[in-house]
Structures are given as C-alpha cells and as structure tokens.
Amino acid sequence: MHRFLMLLTITITISLFPASVTAMTDNTEEASIIIEVDGNPEEHKMYLETYHPQIDVIASYETLFNGLALKADPRQFEQIESLDFIQAVHPVTTYETQLEALEETENSVMPSALNRTSYTGEGVQVAVIDTGIDYDHPDLAGNFAGGYDLVDLDDDPMETKASEGMPTMHGTHVAGIIAADGELQGVAPDADIHAYRALGPGGMGTSVQVIAALEQAVDDGADIINLSLGNAVNGPDFPTSVAVDRAVDLGVPVVIANGNAGPENWTVGSPATAANALSVGATSNPLTVPYLVESLQDKHIPLIEMGGSKPWKLGKSYDVDVFNGQNAQGKIALMERGEMPFSEMALKAQEAGAVAAVIYNNEPGHFQGMMSDTQDSIEIPVASIAREDGEWLMQNGQDNNLYLETEYETTEQTMADFSSRGPVTVNWDLKPDVSAPGTNILSTIPGGYQELQGTSMAAPQVTGAMALLMEAHPDWTASELTGALKTTATRVRDGGSEFYEPIIQGAGNIQPEKAINSTTVIEDPLLSFGKIGGNQKTKTMDIKIENKSDEPQTYRFSIPDKEKGLTWDLPLSFTLEKGETTTVPIELKVNGNQIDKGIHQGWLTLNQQDEKYQLPYLFVNQTADHPKAMGFDFTLKPFSDDTYAYQLYLTDPAESIDVMLYHPQTLVYERTLLTSDDLQVGLNKGQIDQSELGKPGQYLAVINVKLETGEMESYQTGIYIEEQS
C-alpha cells in the first residue's frame, strides 16, 4: 500500500527536563514562560498588569495548579524574579532525536488494524499533549479541531519547523495513530483532534507546561487526553502525576505512555505513575532478532539493533575484538558504553576497519540506543548487548580469538523489552494498567509517513480505542469506559507457556471490540494491596462489578492455589440482575514472616459462564528492592547566571543526603557538592551559589542517601557546572 514511502524506525521516549535559563537568554526576542504562584493567580495577574505592564499575562491557571503564562523580552523577567508570590519559573530546555532512513519493513503495523468494529470515534474530542501537530497533513487536516501552543503561548500548535529550530514530528505521529483519516487510517478516524504543544524545538518543555496543557485541555472540554511523554521519577506525587489525577477526578480519562526504560522493575515514570492514569505498556510484533552465537560453549547473545543503524546482516563468523582504537580490520568491535556518543564510537570502529560494532551496557541489563549520525557516514551495523554478555565476551576474547556467527530467531508477540515496568514506589500501585501494540507502528509525520516504536505509539492506540468506546457508550462514566478495556484485556505470554507478570503487562493487551460488547465491566480489576508488614495482616479491596447485559448473570471466583502465609477470602457465587451493579470485597490475609520479602503478584479468576476475567493483584511484603532516590536534577536557576537549583525525589524517609563529585573518566573523588538533612518523602528542592561549586566542568555525581532505617542508598548521574561569567 505504501511502497512509495520511505519509512524510519526509532524507539521514542520524550522526557521532561528541569528548567534552564539558556533557552531564553541567547536572544532578545520575546520569550514565553510559565510561573507557579502562591495564592490566587487572578490577583497576581492584576498585580503584574498594574506594576509590570511590559510583561504580557497570556493565561492564568487554577484548575489543576496555580500559575500564570507570561510573554516578554527576557530582560523584563529579571524585574520580577524577587517577587514573593512566585514559587517557581519554568522556561524551556532541549531534547533531541535523530532519525535515519531504513528500507520499508514487512512488519509494519497499521493503527486501523486494532479497530474491527463499525465505530469510528465520531464526535469524540481527543486532546493530544505533545510536540504539536502538522494540521496541514492531508490525513489529519479534516480531523484537526484546534488547540493551543504552551511553548509560544499562542493559538498555533504546529510542529516545530526546521526554520524555528530542531524540527519535531512526534505529536503528528501520535495524532495519526489515533485519528488519521486519509491514505492512512487511525484507530478512530472520525474523532476530533485538539493539539496542545507543550514541547517545542527538538521536544523541549517542562513539567509545568505539560500541566498547563492538561488544564487547557480540560477547560476546552476534552473527552479524553493522550500523553505520550514522561520522566524517570517513579513516584505517585510528582507534580505531573498529581495534575493527571485531578483531571481524571474531573471526569476526563488520561491515557499515558508507561515509558521506554524497561526491562527492569520500578522503571515506570511520572505521569504514568498517577493512580488514576490509564498507563500503557507496549507489546511487540513478531520480529526477526539477530543473535551472536559461540557454538562450542553454546553461548547465545541477543543483539538489540541501535535505532538508525544499518541492519545487522552478517553472513559468516567474525572474530570479536575488544576495541580500544587499534586496527580492527574484518572484526566485530566490542566496546563499553560510556560518555562518548554511540555514533562516534561506531565511526571510530568503522575507521579502524571493523565490520560491525557491539556496545555493551555499563550497568546490569540491556539498553536501547539511538544513533545520532545524520550524514550517512556510518555504514556498519551497530547493536547493544547486556553488560553480563559484554563481560563474558571480554573474559573469553581477551587472550584468544573468539569467532562468533550470527543466527536469527523469529519472535512471537511479546511485551517489548523497552516497555517500562512497575510497580510504583510510595503507594505501591500496580502499573501499567493495560498494554497495546508499540513496535513498527506506521503513522503520519510532517510531509509523509513513518514507522516508529515505543510506548509513545502504544498509548494513542488505547486513546483511539477509548474514543470508539465513547462513541458506542456515550452514557458510560470514565471509570466504566476504562474498566471495560481492563476487564476484557487478554494476557500476553512470555514467548513460552507462562504469562508476563502483572507489573509488565497490567491487565494485558486491549481488545476494543470485546470491550464495546462486554456484558460485564469491572471498574478497576487491578488489585493493588500496597505494602504489608509485620506478622498477620489483613487487607481488603472493594471492586465494583456491573452486569451490562439484559439478563441475570452469575459469577464465582476460582479458588486460588494454597500458598503458605497467604489466605484469600473471596465471595461465594453471586448473581446480578440485568443492569445491576454491586461492590465485592476481596480480602487478603498475609503472614509476613512466612513468605519472602518483596513483590508478590499473580492473578485471580472471576468466572461467568464460559467467560473468565483475570484480575491481576500485587502486594509488597515488608520491603522491596525499589529505588529510594531518583530524579536528581542540577541546573542554573532561571534569570540567574550564578545560582544553581537542584531537586531530588525520595521514596522513603531519610536522615541525610550528600552528593559527591568524581572525575567522569578516572573516577577520582573531586569534592562534595552538597549535603542536607532537611528532607521529606517526595520532591526535595534547594539551591547553591556558583561560588560554592568549585571548578567548572563535567562530573560524575554520586548521590548517597542515609535512610531512617540506617541503610545507605546510592546512585549516580552526570552533571555539568558552567564557567562563571
């Protein structure tokens, strides 16, 4: 159908970065910012209009958060920096993606394949909060119904064009999955798309611009909101998550990409961590996956091809050589992930004569990488492998020639490795809620079509499915609509006979047609019992079950297998009359001393004649190996060239933190950046004068947290201290 198109493949994740003043102060054109304020935004708006008339107050926000949108010459903003009612200032920062063309694949997934119903989403108002939309695209022009630009603060939510900075296309791709109506068809081709540009050139934006877009969408009357973006903070009370919960409380379902930080647990990020969000994981199409094979030791090493890389099509055995810049003629160059960009590492290997490059992780597990080369200068395939496999190759190939051949395996539909996993810290919620196709998804981009992958592509398929449900059942509540998708989802197997754990797939892969026609709706079938500690503890969760059929229906739970330390108290067989709704208590008794500490999860089965409804459950016994500290950000404070702001998210009560700086290459200790004992669970903020920072440059920051239990938690990240002006 699309043989004339050139398709691109990339794993997409959009992150919300901390604010930086550099995006505003490099020119004297008008800049747009959003400020958070203490008190009544309308009163502060009147104050600014009276005493600072050179600053235009574009909008005020008070539905989901307190704030004002301002536009002025950047130098004018310096006059209001010291105003007491301003709590935070949010200019924009930059995120970049680079794409490289690939040949068209045979595994393209058409969004319309998800819709096997007669419904089209007609009359449903869908808000897409993203990088904007190419509303001139012939497949989207008829569905575009307006929107707003939260970056430039105007009514034109067009994608960033090359003349304006790093061009974007992510929002157009997302919108096309939902409602393209032309040569390509979306899931709900007659739905109306309202675009809210919260991320500008290269995908730049802040969490508050996203919150402001959420508020604008709610106030504009959106029926459903799509957020294919997120950050790395695995907590339920990060500001974007709180705003999402408020939007849902107002009756607007919010569908959110779970993130692309899998396959480790605890990687779902805000705002998909919001308790009320419909968070979405990504399933993977059947694909042909290359492996490096050492037959004598029966070693199989899976390769994850880099986004934008040439396809891995090696046809014979090659020696794997640990590459340190030496001649690698006719060999596979093995390198460790570090500070150097992947494209630069690959180019060095190519110049040394390598036939391919393999980059192994510098921390446990696999990773997904992206090539940033745009000059077609890298002609060799590049792939990533897990650290454990890299260390095996190092040990076995250091002193001997290690010849490996490439073999290929065709996979079944599985959960995508990149799909972020739950659960959520602090409240121990089970996430994601559901899953949807997220690899090789063909959709619209400015000027054409592309094939992309990521949970960013899975979320709009769920949004499109919700639009179909809304058209089919306009009288259903938001909780009934989302409940129908969860109730009828089908569990995904792990490539064998076992099902993926609930924290990987949620309720399972959505089935829109079955959801529309379901005679039973469980409004929230995901059972999160939270953290349980001590000896004998009892937790009860109530689930609401509704009989949507025209006749009585009888239900009964299957008796779970007996497990030491666990006792389930489930209701006996019960009958609901037509249209009847009941609340059913699910009681769990746990003896924490008789079972292992950590995450416990599984499935309860509710039977109704020939139907079986699977209810995923989760609880944490006493403690879990979850991250205690995350999201350390360190940037220049807005309107300042000599003060840095930092923030850190804590999931457990802590006594103190210290941030130690190390040389990024030699790992030699340099100095302590900061210490603090004024801490709280959740987001912690502070600031440091540049005079206290020491020598500028790039550093490895090690964040050490002493918990109230006496345990120490550490993690590391890179930071940059600028030259003092």
* Residue pLDDT, tens place only, 667-700: 788 889 999 999 998 888 888 888 888 888 888 8
Compute the distance between CA of residue 340 and CA of residue 40 in angstroms, rounded to an integer.
48
- What pLDDT is attached to residue 399? 63
Looking at per-residue pLDDT, the higher value among 263 and 31 belongs to: 263
3-state secondary structure of 612: strand
- What pLDDT is attached to residue 285? 80
Compute the distance between CA of residue 476 and CA of residue 466 in angstroms, rounded to an integer.
11
- What pLDDT is attached to residue 725? 61
625 has pLDDT over 60: yes
Looking at the domain 288-410, which fold is it?
Answer: Glucose Oxidase; domain 1 (3.50.30)
Residues carrying CATH 2.60.40.730, the chain: 629-721
Compute the distance between CA of residue 439 and CA of residue 411 in angstroms, rounded to an integer.
13
- Catalytic residue, chosen from 456, 518, 626, 652, is 456
**Tens of pLDDT, residues 540-562:** 999 999 999 999 999 999 999 88
Largest CA distance in the chain: 80
- What pLDDT is attached to residue 535? 77
Asked, as a colleague might, if the bond just before 460 is cis with ω within 30 of 0, I would say: no
38 has pLDDT over 80: yes
- What pLDDT is attached to residue 376? 62
**Mean pLDDT of the 242-267 span:** 93
15 has pLDDT over 60: no
- What pLDDT is attached to residue 95? 27
Respond yes or no: is residue 456 known to be catalytic: yes
Residues carrying CATH 3.40.50.200, the chain: 101-283+415-487
**Kind of pairing, strands 629-636 and 304-305?**
unpaired
- What pLDDT is attached to residue 7? 34
Residue 93 binned pLDDT confidence (cut-offs 50, 70, 90): very low
- Catalytic residue, chosen from 20, 32, 112, 130, is 130
What are the start-end ranges of the E strands in 247-389? 254-257, 278-284, 288-294, 299-302, 304-305, 318-322, 332-336, 356-360, 382-385
Residues carrying CATH 2.60.40.2310, the chain: 520-621
User: 135, 192 in Cβ contact below 8 A?
Assistant: no
Q: Quick one: tokens of 607?
A: 């039977």
Residue 17 binned pLDDT confidence (cut-offs 50, 70, 90): very low
- What pLDDT is attached to residue 578? 95
pTM here is 0.78
**Tens of pLDDT, residues 290-315:** 899 988 888 999 998 887 788 898 88
**CB contact set of 45 (below 8 Å; sequence gap of 6+):** 57, 60, 68
User: What architecture is the 629-721 domain classified under in CATH?
Assistant: Sandwich (2.60)
Respond yes or no: is residue 479 known to be catalytic: no
Respond yes or no: is residue 170 known to be catalytic: yes
Most confident stretch, 42-51, 66-75, 135-144, 412-421: 135-144
Average pLDDT, the chain: 86
- What pLDDT is attached to residue 71? 87
The DSSP 8-state label assigned to residue 42 in this structure reads H
3-state secondary structure of 327: coil
User: What architecture is the 520-621 domain classified under in CATH?
Assistant: Sandwich (2.60)
User: What architecture is the 22-90 domain classified under in CATH?
Assistant: 2-Layer Sandwich (3.30)
- Catalytic residue, chosen from 170, 194, 600, 626, is 170
621 has pLDDT over 50: yes
Handedness of CA 369, 370, 372, 375 (dihedral sign): positive
Looking at the domain 101-283+415-487, which fold is it?
Answer: Rossmann fold (3.40.50)
- What pLDDT is attached to residue 107? 63
